[in-house]
Chains A and B, each alone.
Chain A
């Protein structure tokens, strides 16, 4: 015989008042019929029947206060059930009672939640070995990114590029130059100025198995689209229990350019690196830009690819091999040394490299690490280095609070505390919106002297 239980209005409700019965004993009810009204301090709600049959017994009279959730309040004799059958049913656990037992079990189990299992360690592959005597070609970061996209679009018809001015205009920063001519308007798609909308469209296309590359004219504008990047792309695989992934690359220039003011000069590294489900890549050199963008396009995990406008024109040597793909999640030791570790990425590497040159000339043997990927972050390489040098300085353009340097400092202190000879120091952008005036902007950004000063501080040099 189905038993009507006192329902909860919300997962936090424990008891309530049975304020009114809308049926009486002997009434016939069907699913959806309102049986009673219950009340808490917050709300009144109707109890509906899910069964058809006759109300044979009202167990809790109306007006009763403090009725506990899941307490039986009435009994219904289901259609076809005979009165004789009812007592028998009472002694046998009915299917409709099973959930109560399960609910109690779940409630009992709640306080003794087992400790979370340890997070699996991410292990990135090493950079591929290059063939002996491989030709190195000098090119700009811009050309490297362009080649990466063109090569992947040749390789896989599901790869397409969309964004503002990527096609006819040939790219606001000319990263997509020539792609429209080679691949046509179906695969190089100019969008209206509508970041939220086209980011969502691209994620939807990725759900269906395409491999979109979304170019944001700058990452500043992607704040319009951040809901789709995080809520739709990053969380999708997890929420679907592994069924639906979003193989997509969001890319564009990140951080300060020059004299463009507060709204066009933000570094989003820390923001995106915070989010599980994303890979976040921020290359400095032309070779890394090419190899990592190719890897990002092939990745089945959504990738946030942070470029830098000032670096677009900088040149570097890129190996001339058929398929140059670098591993996401692997830092690069730009210079090996034993006195102090400097960790940076993207534009920060420019300050760090120049500082390293001066420090080495002054006799300090710097180990310089380019993170290249911010998530998963290759902290193993950093820890190994700090165990050797005992000192670490981080360099980034972003704001200090909750930044990449803050994360690195926490990891170093937790995992290499006994090896440290000095507190970790951060060189960051100043904790201010980016000013426009040339002198103020310069002050707001990190510089080579600040890096040198931080290294001097951790090495206790004057």
Chain B
């Protein structure tokens, strides 16, 4: 029953985005793509240490979901593949890149690294390094929303790998038991590091993972930002209206290895190439922008230049900024 990653034909009758939404989605996704390419290059140059998990290929997921959420009000939390989430939520690309290089101007003062960045202001709660832990934490953010009655929802992202962790189901159980405003996004990119979904999971339809708790779910083409956005609207509305948690399985794909040091030997080059060529989330939006005359080639080039400038500025800052002062070793351990 091996299920191969396949390049599905684009669906017809999909809910369309407005012109503004398409343009903004294009810009957000391109920022992630160019930022991550730069991060990959800088990792190769030894400027970024440790682990560096790139989001290239999965851009439509966080972009479509954030578009359907109340930015700055709804809480979001994810695992360690987190750069894209921060960029789309509006965190400063310079601060993100400087955190990757471990500099004092990094979002966590250089003390967190690629996997650990947060922002109370943007309601982004990481950036969590232990696979699956963010699901309980995100459910706690939903608990707080319900406790306060502030009408916000909590959106927790986790991968097909994390979906096999026990605490995910402990959290599902309590989220439904207490009808918490929790939206669970399973980013199924088909590989938990080097282990394909087929080799790791008895139930490969992740949208059904909440059924025994009475949590509904949907499988969504996570390469098409229109479908992501449409499903996210339903899921978020469900949670916000007091009906409790909802699961979206985003069928997506990462082009790069699990982390920068992963050569990705566990899948064929053809598989990656066909996904890139036929299902690329950014190319899809770009083609629609041109087809529908939402923007010209000229406009696309301008956006490309604008994004390139943002990324270059981030990279320059991240390489010229000072390392944190030694005194930072001892700060932020105990809260005042």
> Is B a genuine binding partner of A?
yes
Q: Which residues of A contact B166 (CB under 8 A)?
A: 196
B106 at the interface (CB under 8 A from A): yes
Interfacial residues of chain B within 25-57, with CB under 8 A of chain A in the complex: 33-34, 37-38, 40-47, 49-50, 56
Residue pair A197, B173 in contact (C-beta under 8 Å): yes
B245 at the interface (CB under 8 A from A): no
Q: Which A residues are closer than 8 A to B by beta carbons?
A: 5, 7-11, 31-32, 43-45, 47-48, 50, 69-70, 95, 98-100, 102-103, 106-107, 114, 116-117, 119-120, 160, 186, 191-192, 194, 196-210, 227-228, 231-232, 236-245, 247, 276-277, 279, 299-301, 376
- Min CB–CB distance A104 → chain B (angstroms): 9
- Min CB–CB distance B282 → chain A (angstroms): 10
A-B contact count (CB 8 A): 221
CB contact between A191 and one of B75, B174, B276, B333 (< 8 Å): that residue: B174
Q: Which residues of B contact A202 (CB under 8 A)?
A: 140
Q: Which residues of B contact A279 (CB under 8 A)?
A: 334
- Min CB–CB distance A294 → chain B (angstroms): 17
Q: Which B residues are closer than 8 A to A by beta carbons?
A: 33-34, 37-38, 40-47, 49-50, 56, 75, 77, 106-112, 116-120, 125-130, 133, 135-145, 147-148, 154, 166-167, 170-171, 173-174, 177, 255, 257, 260-261, 263, 265, 276, 312, 315-316, 319-320, 326-327, 329-336
Q: Which residues of B contact A194 (CB under 8 A)?
A: 170, 173-174
Residue pair A204, B46 in contact (C-beta under 8 Å): no
- Min CB–CB distance B23 → chain A (angstroms): 20
Residue pair B44, A240 in contact (C-beta under 8 Å): no
Residue pair B174, A198 in contact (C-beta under 8 Å): yes
- Please list 21 pairs of residues, one from A and one from B, whose beta carbons are closer than 8 Å in the complex, sorted by A's number: A8-B44, A31-B34, A32-B255, A32-B276, A45-B257, A69-B46, A98-B320, A102-B319, A106-B46, A116-B329, A160-B147, A196-B136, A197-B136, A197-B170, A198-B170, A201-B136, A232-B137, A239-B116, A241-B108, A244-B125, A301-B335
- How far is it, in angstroms, between the C-alpha of A327 and the C-alpha of B129 when the chains are bound? 33
CB contact between B45 and one of A8, A31, A117, A228 (< 8 Å): that residue: A8
Residue pair A277, B40 in contact (C-beta under 8 Å): no
Residue pair B108, A239 in contact (C-beta under 8 Å): yes
- Min CB–CB distance B178 → chain A (angstroms): 8
- Min CB–CB distance B54 → chain A (angstroms): 10
- How far is it, in angstroms, between the C-alpha of A44 and the C-alpha of B257 when the chains are bound? 12
Residue pair A300, B139 in contact (C-beta under 8 Å): no
Q: Which residues of A contact B110 (CB under 8 A)?
A: 241
13 new A-B contacts, CB < 8 A, other than A98-B320, A200-B170, A239-B127, are A50-B40, A69-B46, A70-B46, A95-B316, A102-B47, A197-B173, A200-B133, A200-B136, A204-B137, A208-B141, A208-B145, A210-B147, A239-B116
The 6 closest A-B pairs by CB, nearest first: A204-B140, A200-B136, A7-B44, A197-B170, A300-B335, A208-B144
Residue pair B45, A99 in contact (C-beta under 8 Å): yes
Given contacts A10-B261, A186-B147, A301-B335, contact A203 B137 (CB under 8 A): yes
